[in-house]
Structure formats: C-alpha cells, structure tokens
Structure 1
Amino acid sequence: MANPNPLMAKSSGTDHADAAIQSALRTLDAEGSGIAAITAALQSDLRAPFVAATDLINNAKGRLIVTGLGKSGHIGRKIAATFASTGTPAFFVHAAEASHGDLGMITADDVILALSWSGEQPEMKNLITYAKRFRIPVIAISAERESSLAKAADVALTLPKAREACPHNLAPTTSSLMMLALGDALAIALLEGRGFTSVDFSVLHPGGKLGALLKYIRDLMHAGDSVPLKPLGTKMSDALVEMTSKGFGCVGIIDGRGHIVGIVTDGDLRRHMLRPDLMTASVDDVMTKNPKTIGRDMLASEALEILNSSKITALIITDAGKPVGIVHLHDLLRAGVA
C-alpha cells in the first residue's frame, strides 16, 4: 500500500489542529459570556441578594456549609475550600449523603450555601426541610428564580441564563464556571470585608509553595557571626577576606554606632577592578551607600520581589538601623520560595 502524500498528511494535521483551536475558542467565548452576564447582573438584579448573602455568612456564629451534587457538588467542594482558606470557616456536605446521617454535621449556628443549576434536585428536599426546622439560613445559587430551592431559600442568587459551551447545550460547562465564579466573588468579598491579610493567609497555608512564600524572613535569615560586616575605614583587602569567608557575595559596612551605612558587593568589585590601589583603598570609597535593607518580619515573598526588582542577590536585615541578619537568594530557593 502506497504511503500517503506527505503534503496531504501535513494538510490534514493542520486542519485538525485548526479545528481543535477553533473549538477551544468557542468554548472560552461561551464561558466568557457567562462571566460577563454575572458581571452585568451584579450591577442590577443580583446586587441586593449578593450583599444579603455576604451579610448572612459574615454574621453567622457557626460555619458555612456548602452543598450540592453532580457537577454542582464538585464546584461546591472547591468553593468550600476557597472560603476556608480565606478566613471563612466552611466545609462541603454532599446533598445526597445529608439524608443518610450527614445532616448531623450542620448546626443551628451555621449557614447553608446550596448549589443547583435547576434548583429541583429531589436530594435537596430533606436538607431544606432540616434547615427550616432548625431555622438555619439558606443561600441558594440557581439559574431558576421560581425553582423549589430558590423559593425555599432565605437569599436566592439567581444566575443569568447562559448557553453551555457544549455544542448540544447539555454538558455543564458555562454553568459550572458561573457557579464557581460567583462562589469566588462571595469569598473574596468576605475576605476584603473583614480585612483578611497576607499574615492571616500564612496561618492557613503553612505547606507547599504558598507556605514557603508566606514564611517570615526571620525564619530564613542567617544571624550572628554569619553576617558579613566590617566598619568604615576597613581596607578593601580585609573586606574581601570577610566577603569570601562568609560566602554571600557581599559585606555590610557599619558606622561607629553599629548602623548599616553601605555594602560592598561583587558588582562593586567589578566596577573598580581597574583601580590599581583597590586592595589598599578604604571600603568608604568603594561601597554602595544606603543599601537596601529589610526587617525580620517581612514575608519571604516580599523579599523575593525586592531581590528580583533590584537585581541583587542578598539583603541585609536590620533592626532600628543595625544589621541583625542576612538572606541570600539561594536561601529562598532552598525554602521553595523562588
């Protein structure tokens, strides 16, 4: 059997790639339209219920219970995780499992956030009945204003109509993204409303790359005799010995009061390399004055940003102007920050 024409095969492959990209673009366009519809709704019909929902969650004595099933359940799990990681105690209860004992996880101090695109899943009935019995507030996210769920809820967040990205308008795609986006919007509104800071965030994210970024410099810095320091008036030959022995590629220069006033780096050496008296010169004539310094309570992520933006590899840590430590880019790399 003859081999196919290479040019024809290439054309076929190109057509396939083009079709895949066009399909992807149609999907993103459809889902983007869904987000745009929520943006418009938040400035009109969705505005008041959204504010009411944030107030209910913010004023709850207990936790936020997120529930749903099917694709809404998967989205609900992620929404619950986002709330929990941004300062709103939350967890997910599967709507079907709730009728088989999991209702016991929900207390009268909690608030329920129920997700259902149609708002008519029969599995929600027992949960809603339980909520009414114990007067537990319910917030519904649904696309049907007149659905059983929306009517039973204390606050109904009605999503605007949008076509699924699925060409048959069946597979939950756009609708799932809209639910997720609205859940994120609620979580971030609460985060900002309560003044949740990066320090608060670090308490809830001690592991992984996020945990590394949220470490304090005091936990990563070298202190004591490890800090390369020399006083003003030191000969460059002595400063070079200190720089080499400590291995940070720099040496901090202090005045008579012990305050940092300059730094000699590898870059300073290169800039003065042609100077014949470099080794006998004073550090005063070679150093970079008023070097960048940071405090020990700065986050590692902020220190990394300073290193990158300033195109330097080490920072002196000071307390009231006096050097107490040093951190190198390699320290951040080892900690998983960079």
Structure 2
Amino acid sequence: MEYTQIFADAEVREEFLDRFEEIRDAVSTSGGLESVGALEGILDVDRAAGAVKEMAEGTWQGDDSGLESIVRRFGRPVYLVRRNTFATVADAPDNEAESLVVAAKVKAARRRLEGVIPSVGRIDLRNHNMTWVGTAWMVAEDLAVTNRHVAEKFAKRGRGGFRFRANPMAQVHAYVDWLHEHGRPRHESRFKVTEVVWIEPDSSFCDAALLRLAPTSESGESLPPPIELAKGKDGLAVGRWVGVIGYPDTGRHDDPEDRTRIFNNIFECKRLAPGQLISFDGNRWIHHDATTLGGNSGSVVVDLDTGRALGLHFQGLPGKRNYAVPAADVARLIRKRAS
C-alpha cells in the first residue's frame, strides 16, 4: 500500500490522528488481532503521529505494531453492496474504524456508483472443481469483460475460436450472476455465457477476455446496461479517486489477520472498495491502491467523478499496488474482436 498517497491528503491525515484512539480501539475489538496484541499499550497518539509523518514523507520502514493494518482499514475500507447500493461508515456507525473523509467522497458519488453496481457480476461455474472464478462487467449490449487468467479457467483456444473446457464427466458451463450480495443468499440473477468471444494471448499486456451472454437470465430477466468506458486519458491522473467493484475471495496470499480486520471474514460477495490512482506503467497499465483480494480479478475500476470505467483490475502486489488494464485498451479489444 502506498501510505504516502493516503496521508498526502491533509484532511485524511488530520482525521486519522484526531480519531486515532477511537480507530485503534475499534480495530482491536474487531477480532483476529493476535499478532498485534495489546494495541492500547503499544500504540499511542504520539507514536502514531510520528509514524504518519514518516508515511507521508515516504520514509516509513514498518514495524510489528499493527499500525499498517489500522491505516489500511481506515483509509482504504471495503463496503458491502446490498440491493445495488452500499453503506459507508457514515451510514453504519459500527464501522467506526473507517475514515469519514473517504466515506464522504464515496457518498458524493453514490448516484454514479449505483448506476454501475448492477452491471458487475460474479462468474459462476458448473461441472467444474471451482464454483466461481472472478468478476465480470458489461461493456456492450450482450458483452462482458473479464481477465484472461479468469477466462482460461473455464475456456481455451480451439479450432476456429474458443471453447469451454470439459471434465471427464461433463461440459463446463459459465454464468454471470449480478447479485451474490451479502445477506441475500437466495437471490440470483444468472445469465449463461453463450460464447467466449476472445481471450488475449499470454504475450499481450492486456489481461482481458470478452464473453457473450444470453439476452435473458434463467428467470427471464434482461441484461443490465453496459458501463461506459472512459475515453483516451480522461480521468487518468495520479490522485484520482476510484471505486473498485467486484467479488473479493478469501485472499489466501494475504495476511489472515488483515483479512479479518478489513473484511470481517465476509467474502465471495459484491463489494465496493474506494482508493486512488497512484501511478502508471507507461501506456500498459494503471495502478491503484483500493483494497482487493483474489476474486477481484476482472473488477471494474470506476472514476468517482464521472461513473465511467477507467480500467479492468487484474492483479495486486500485497502492500504495494494493484494493476488494471486501461479502459482505452478494453475499448480497442471490443472494436477489434467483437465487431
């Protein structure tokens, strides 16, 4: 995580120190804090102030106090999606470890985010050893985008195109379900993947694949609308606030106590994670610092100011940065492969 980025915002920095004891105590009672120990005795406001100064300056070396996890929970929270909307710390006082400043930025974009949330779904599988593999979102009338490494779990190149994999007993089938919201386990909105239109080759920097979906769900619903893609470099600026919408899995490569603190042990359902664009890798990738886990592969990276998709999330380096394919590359892929 780029702590410099979080505390470059003076308002966020001041809020963290003003509310530090409240935030620390809320995290310490949230469970899964064995390695942090007695936070109240280890961390006080003066020590936190010194660490925050180092984080803002980029000189923070880290320690075993648990402060990094507190900062991550505070400055880069994850909100549960329910009924195509979300609750921030301002809506749900039991989340007092999260930033009110960040929550206000996300709430200001509520209308735009609520226009995007219904068009993001989870890829479920049948006749496969995995029940689901990642996230996908609508980019055209009957077309969804996900990652190459996600699509390759259930499809592969064959003669004249791509075909679904098979196990010894049956053909694999893939579906995109736009719900899987926490607290609504019996509600589904499942659309069959009728065609794997394209999977980018491994040699491509564009970790993307295009899926054709049935026009109606198993229960007769219509497809949600496509998410508008940002054009060119619109919105691509360091510090731009974004929301990542997808389905974080259990994050087996992340610290288990971090998973408990930040996700409250609730996984495999739709989440909204705010963050900022932190850097760019030439024209290949954009980097952001929203909190993600495995399962977020294929998530949409939404510009909070416009509601347009800035990118397609595909991987993260724990504690450092996340990567996304720019929207311009997704648009080029659609024009070239789905016309």
TM-score by length of 1: 0.18
TM-score by length of 2: 0.18
| Bigger proportion of residues as helix | 1
| Bigger proportion of residues as strand | 2
